[in-house]
Amino acid sequence: MTENLNLMTRRELTTTLGLMTEDSIGAAAISSLLLTAPHTKGVTNEQDLFEVLFEPEAIEDISCTVEQYSYAIAERYVAKMEEGAQRKSDDDEHFFWQGLHEKWAYLEIMGG
């Protein structure tokens, strides 16, 4: 079975868009994609899949932004772990952002 690693959910895209500066090339690319029909309709709107085929400059902009944010999340997560104070919601947040960062980084490495 071949999987398309360029597919992202509406949730992943809208969450990423929330981090971007409004006038950035990455925000423009995501906004434009979200105005199109999904590649595959999900059970819910958040699960709709979109095929990400952005220019390398847009991918780099997005990847850098998500990387910075996910590192901030990771720092807070590690501090909570060291204190023994992390909860399941902290785990969920950390792993969501780690996974999202890895997806955008993959796309950046592959050249968009």
CB atoms < 10 A from the CB of 81, how many? 13
The model's pLDDT over 47-106, given as tens digits with 9 standing for 90+, comes to 999 999 999 999 999 999 999 999 999 999 999 989 999 899 988 999 999 999 999 999
The model's pLDDT over 4-43, given as tens digits with 9 standing for 90+, comes to 779 999 999 999 999 999 999 999 999 999 999 999 999 9
CB atoms < 10 A from the CB of 33, how many? 20
Could you tell me the CA-to-CA distances from 85 to 26, 69, 106 in Å, in that order?
A: 35, 21, 32
CA–CA dist 84, 95 (Å, integer) = 17
The model's pLDDT over 46-57, given as tens digits with 9 standing for 90+, comes to 999 999 999 999
CA–CA dist 43, 87 (Å, integer) = 29
Whether residue 50 contacts residue 88, with contact meaning beta carbons closer than 8 Å, is answered with no
